[in-house]
Chains A and B, each alone.
Chain A
Amino acid sequence: MDQAIEGRELITLAGQGVIVRGTFHRPRTSGSGSEPGASTQNRIGIVFLNSLSLPRAATGDSAVYWAESFADCGYPSFRLDLPGLGDTAGDIPLELLNFINAGGYASITSVKIDELVERFDLSGVVLAGHCAGAVSAIYAAAACPGKCKGLVLLDPYFHVPQAIRPKVRQGLSDWALKSRIGGAVSNIYDRVRDALLILRGNALPRNANFGLLSRWKEVASTGLPILFLKAPARKAQGTKPRAGEFDYLRYVLGLAGRNSKVVVELIEGTDHSFANCLGRAAVRQHTERWLTSYFPLVEEVAVTALRSEADNSKNYDQCHVDCLH
């Protein structure tokens, strides 16, 4: 049984008595042709965190695709299973969503980032997370300000969602989704909520995740480079929320302040998982561009990056991507 194959290697991070399992995607360099295994010294590592209860491969193995792509560009990439998730041992709380929303994985993620940085001699890491994984990434970035050099957030949320919706509400939602009359009622409901939102002066909703917003402000206002990728939402226009919903994106951009380096991209043609062909290609291309812009590689790998960029541009035209900035 091999621990390593071409381009990737299974790793365990055992520091502080907690064993975390993951996969390391070795960076390629132009100097060694297509051979992987280049030194990771002084490079930025890309670290993927679990999205809620999904294993580290993520929906449709999209995280494997992204990690391989970034490693091909010269960035050592790591996919970790946090304690209790994927192949890493540990008990997960019954209320996993609440645990994550309260920053439950921040401390252990921070410990493991330290370990990765030391073991692979990295200059720091960019944390990448999708949905609940993005929430963990924000908390972890606040917990290790020196080592976390950037964030890639895929459809993060800033409220505290209910893990289980009441049956009646779920039934109404299903009816609204699938019937014409239900759709019409849903539109009226949206307008009423919109009016109420205006009456409340667009105040932050009661179920906002105040702890997360505070960590977001902490990290974003320092000028930490952040790439914020959004998938289209149902009944929403562009990056705007559905009528009647609070505009968290606008709010968090305001919180980030003038010195922030938050780049927002809307990725058309995908869904919340970003796992379809268009979604994964667009995430890859936006992130590679963002990485080259904020974390340029040393000369020896620049050629590879450019080649990859050239390859990307072939597919890029097929994707309908709107750049807000």
Chain B
Amino acid sequence: MARLELQGICKGFDEPVLDRITLTVEEGQFFVLVGPSGIGKTTLLRCVAGLERLDAGRVLVDDRDITDLKPYHRNVAMTFESYALYPHLTVFENIASPLKARRTDPAEIKRRVGSVAELLRIDHLLDRRPHEVSGGQKQRTALGRTLVARPDVFLLDEPISHLDAKIRHELRRQFHQLEDLRRVATVYVTHDYAEALSLGDRIAVMGHGGLEQVGTARELFEQPATLFVARHLGQPSINEIACALEGDGDGLMARARGADLRVPVAPRHRQGLAAVNGTPVTLGIRPQHLRVLPPDTTPDGVPGEGGADAGLPVIEARVEIFEALGAIGVLLAEAGGVSLTALTSPDAHFEPGQPVRLGMETGAFHYFSRETGQNLHL
């Protein structure tokens, strides 16, 4: 049981990789660190594990400063992206390794390895060597090796990224259920945003050098602090439209640059955006916030009273591509010279070139500064 705290961690190799990273992982929290490849996620884990020396900053576990402790004195367990199983040892010996290091009694080792292996459903493989088991089983072995140690902090580096879809789902479910992982501070690294949203109690999105935003899945999705976060979370990804703001008061509009698309700014955004009127912004529209309206709608809005679509501003568009992807349909449409992605039901049918009307949930749109990428109305 422990709480992990990072204070102003800096680490660079030839150029800075981590720049003043500060974050806290509470006891029992499943903290997911997500970001594109090569951004320094693994480096951050290695810093916590003690495999890299920090250029600056401190690592604390339960307010105990472990910055200068050697990795073998930290009681921090880590799985490696490559699994790093000892090829000359059996699955049993691999899992037992941390206990052997602590010179645990052999009977106790047997009991604990047995229970961990049972939990991970690899108890029938204990006599095999790593090259004799499948990728998913290797991953479980690596996980078993960290679980058995009962560390203060768990560091999991892309634990399921290299497995095929079916095993990924199974292991993902297992991560949800593993009590041991739910009791200590866990930092889970992945480049897969869906995995991050599904697993994390709290999620940190990592960009170049630092953390773009830290929050729950819902916060990150609904209130992305930067364009970077908005761009990487969500499938299909967010529509980005380069805009300039014009008009004022109730008439405040975002006009797409070099195109004939005008989007009215929702009342809740007007105040924040009035201050930056005239400067270039990026309008972010999630595909699910563009509704394909029935053909009988008028350009002024949806007829009839009530209904989910009532009162939405409408734009005219022309279908470019429609993809039915099983659970959802993805519509690519062109409106006023801008390509937009919208989410539909999968059983809809669209022909290329067909005119459609899109209802815009402008209240859920995001406006980002073109210069800094910051969300302008948070």
| A-B complex is real | no
